[in-house]
Amino acid sequence: MHLSLANSEQPIGVLYEFWPRADGTGRMVFISEGAEAFLETTADELGEMIQQQRLPLYGIDTAAFYESIFVAITQRKPWAAELGYRTPKTGRRLWLHLQSYPQVSPERGLYFSGHWIDLTPMKRAEEESRAAYRVLATHLENTPLAVIEWDRDFRIARWSGQAEAIFGWRAEDVLGKASDEFALVHPEDAERVAVVIRKLLTQSEPRVVCANKNLHESGRVLHCVWHNSVVTDSEGCLISILSLVEDHTERVELDQQLFEAHRLESIGLLAGGIAHDFNNLLTIILGHAGIVRDHSAPNPFLARSLGEIDTACTRAAQLCEQITAFAGIGRLRVVPLNLNELIRSEEHHLVALVGRSDAIRYELTEGLPPIRGEVRQLHQVLENLVVNAHEATSGRDGAITIASHAVEIRDPDAASGFVPSPVPGRYVGLSVRDYGCGIPEAIRAKIFEPFFSTKRPGRGLGLAAVRGIVCGYQGCLRVTSQGNEGTLFEVLFPTAEEVQPGTRTRGFGSGAYEQHPPKHGAILVVDDEMHIRELIATLLEEEGYEIATASEAQSALAKFQPDPNHFAAAILDVRMPGLQGPELAARLRELHPGLPVLIVTGFSATELPAELWSQGPTGMLPKPFSFDQLRESLRKLLLNASIAATP
């Protein structure tokens, strides 16, 4: 047995002999040929390295190793050690298990014989396993999914960092607990989750995917999808249950919001249609009540009844306004506003939009006259311009400057670049300047087009909305940009000053005008509702106007085309079969440039295209309206048209 081991070529079970000395050292008298090749050394070299304590070791405490040899020799005890050995010629790193036994023979006296086992493959496999475990653990800790492992009793054995991020509980607070020992599952889904747990523990279904409501540590409701898998050993016995959890809360809430938006949109369409028809009926009632009042002898009883009709119609009109506002198509609450106060009220929100308080600088001129507008829409204008400026300055120095100032335009040619071209008058200006990358000229012409964007998909309505709102208030805007010097957006809003009788409006020069314009030419009335069309015609004929009526665009054009200049103005409904009111206005103005147009509608001015206001004198008469309101709206429209035509 001794000889066969001694001549073995295998690195496992190789015999060696070590002859100790009295000083605790010794010399290696024999190692097998296989061991010499494996260790890349001879018995003499190995003995010398042991004696000089310079074996090429790694991964162990070398001083303790040599001390253990000394103790074994001096006390004549068996000795064993596990060590890392680097071969002297090729530098291979080996792990060896050495074991020696003291023996005594008459010829040799005391000597140690033993063997070593090559642990290198096993150690390498262990290290690879540890590395793979580290990689897996890193993945588990950094995956966007929460990783939760349950033991055989369905108590938490692993709670990853993402589980803490999603649910709020720390690992030390939940390890060892069952799901019903803390508020993890929403009470509404507790019974359904219990069924899933039974399926997993009994392995009737080794993989179960379920969506249910959970609770955050704060009590907030979460919507999660759980991917549950049974982990078994080689014999199919349950080891644990692994759950990978996706947090779908944001997606579910967005879906709910989208569903709610679609639901409200459907209700809004229905409500808007009803309100539209109801406004038409109120217009007819108010109009005919006015005719009765104007053509009746003084009668207190009749006057009181007509007053009740007016009051009831006014209340009904307010109800319609609430309905259309709910539908998102109603007339907005336009009131006099102080632009500086509006800007200051938005400061906190603007800082939130751009991310830091020092990113915006204000240069506001005090003592500005009020403008007319709706607060929410003017907030939208300011926010969209600031967001656009912030995105343009991304990664660049320089603050965004928001300024306000008073503007008086006497010569429209001096205000070139504004869209649409401003009419002479007093304005309040809003400007937003950035020092970003600028806007190339080729792109500048398109920035106000709907859905045009140089940014990520899904953008492009911001500046289009700005233009629509500004033009809806008969304002104008201009964009100036040069290379990398940034961009300046300027917006002009007409002031809210009332037109004073006997003077020209908004500083349009000097001289007086007639308070009642001459009634030259016919008025074209186009409305698909017969009763409203006939009511308007009756009311205006009473005022001495020549009237031509039509129920839709084609018949209106047929009456207008033979002699366009014979018509002094057109009164158009917005929503009609075929061409809509604004489209018909554009066709009429092609035949008669600058034709005054009075738009009759129950909806907001912002629904009307901006070009409508820039193509000629334009007014808007909201439904329902009274005889006096119709008469005054038409008078102002024709009056402004005559002023604009004055040399």
Distance of alpha carbon 257 from alpha carbon 260, whole angstroms: 5
Q: What is the pLDDT of residues 26-46, one digit of tens each?
A: 567 677 777 888 888 888 888
pLDDT > 60? residue 267: yes
- At residue 27, what are phi and psi to the nearest 5 degrees? -135, 150
Residue 427 pLDDT > 90, yes or no?
Answer: yes
pLDDT over 70 (residue 100)? yes
Using the structure block, give the residue that is written with the tokens 């290198």. 120
**Are 362 and 340 a contacting pair, CB within 8 Å?**
no
Asked if pLDDT for residue 122 goes beyond 60, the answer is yes
- Most confident listed range (268-277, 341-350, 507-516): 341-350
Q: What is the pLDDT of residue 516?
A: 54
| Mean pLDDT of the chain, nearest integer | 80
Under DSSP, the state recorded for 49 is: H
Question: Is pTM beyond 0.85 here?
Answer: no
Token digits of residue 84? 């890392």
Q: For residues 413 and 595, which has the higher predicted lDDT (pLDDT)? A: 595
Contact 55, 37 (CB under 8 A): no
Q: Is residue 3 predicted with pLDDT exceeding 60?
A: no
Q: What is the pLDDT of residue 451?
A: 47
Higher pLDDT, 16 or 623: 623
pLDDT-derived band of residue 641, with 50, 70 and 90 as boundaries?
confident
Helices (H), ranges, 76-207? 120-142, 161-167, 171-174, 190-201
- Quote the pLDDT of residue 257: 74
Query: 537-544 contacts: CB < 8 A, separation 24 or more?
Result: 538/287, 538/291, 539/287, 539/290, 539/291, 539/627, 539/630, 539/631, 540/630, 540/634, 542/291, 542/294, 543/519, 543/631, 544/519
Higher-pLDDT residue of 205 and 496 is 205
Region 544-551: what's the mean pLDDT? 91
Say which residue, 517 or 149, is predicted with more confidence.
149
Mean pLDDT check: name the lowest of 167-181, 222-236, 251-265.
251-265
Angle at 302 between CA 296 and CA 308, to 5 degrees: 125
User: Can you tell me the mean pLDDT for 196-217?
Assistant: 92
| Cα gap 527→574, rounded to integer Å | 8
Q: What is the pLDDT of residues 271-322, one digit of tens each?
A: 667 777 787 888 888 878 877 887 777 888 888 888 888 888 877 876 776 5
Q: What are the residues facing 14 on neighbouring strands? A: 116
Q: What is the mean pLDDT of residues 466-479?
A: 79
Decide which of 2 and 397 is more confident: 397
Is the pLDDT assigned to residue 21 strictly greater than 70? no
Of 40-44, 508-512, 574-578, the least confident: 508-512
Fold of the CATH domain 335-494? Heat Shock Protein 90 (3.30.565)
Per residue in 57-67, pLDDT (tens digit) is 999 999 999 88
pLDDT of residue 493: 92
pLDDT tens, 354-389?
877 778 889 999 999 999 887 877 888 898 888 888
pLDDT at 2: 29
pLDDT of residue 396: 63
Q: Does residue 563 register a pLDDT over 50?
A: yes
- The reply to whether CATH 1.10.1060.10 applies to domain 516-645 is no
Tokens of 619: 């007014």
Question: 597 or 30: which carries more pLDDT confidence?
Answer: 597
Question: For residue 117, what are the contacts with CB-CB under 8 A and spacing of at least 6?
Answer: 12, 13, 96, 97
Q: What's the mean pLDDT in 599-619?
A: 75
Q: How confident is the model at residue 15 (pLDDT cuts 50, 70, 90)?
A: low
**CA-CA distances (angstroms) from residue 86 to 61, 89, 568?**
15, 9, 107
Which residue would you say has higher pLDDT here, 400 or 257? Answer: 400
Does the structure show a pLDDT above 80 at 553?
A: yes
Nearest to 378 by CA among 441, 320, 428, 425: 428
Query: Which helix H or strand E contains 583, and what residues bound it?
Result: helix 581-591
Whole-angstrom distance, CA of residue 151 vs CA of residue 138: 21
Residues of the chain above pLDDT 70, percent: 81
Q: Is pLDDT above 90 for 453?
A: no
Read off the DSSP letter of residue 2.
H
Helix, strand, coil shares, percent, the chain, to 5: 45, 25, 30
Q: What Rg value do the Cα atoms of the chain yield, rounded?
A: 45
Torsion angle in degrees (nearest 10) through CA of 270, 276, 281, 282: 120
pLDDT reported for residue 638: 85
**pLDDT for the residue numbered 643:** 64
- Superfamily of segment(s) 143-247: PAS domain (3.30.450.20)
* Mean pLDDT calculated for residue range 153-169: 92
Is a pLDDT exceeding 80 seen at residue 473? no
The pLDDT of residue 460: 42
User: Does the pLDDT value for residue 491 go beyond 80?
Assistant: yes
More confident residue, 265 or 170: 170
Are the CB atoms for 495 and 371 separated by under 8 Å?
A: yes
Same fold yes or no, 2-124 and 143-247:
yes
- Give me the pLDDT at residue 305, please: 84
pLDDT for the residue 1? 24
H or E stretch including 408? strand 400-409
What is the residue extent of each domain of the chain? 2-124, 143-247, 273-327, 335-494, 516-645
What integer pLDDT is reported at residue 244 of this predicted model?
Answer: 93
Q: Which CATH architecture has domain 2-124?
A: 2-Layer Sandwich (3.30)
Instruction: Write down the H helix ranges in 148-239.
Output: 161-167, 171-174, 190-201
Query: Across residues 79-103, what is the average pLDDT?
Result: 90
Query: Please, which pLDDT band fits residue 265 given cuts at 50, 70 and 90?
Result: low
* pLDDT of the residue at 501: 32
Q: What are φ and ψ of residue 227, in 5° steps?
A: -105, 105
- pLDDT class for 330, splitting at 50, 70, 90? low
What backbone torsions phi and psi does residue 516 show, to the nearest 5 degrees? Answer: -115, 110
> What confidence score (pLDDT) does residue 285 get?
85
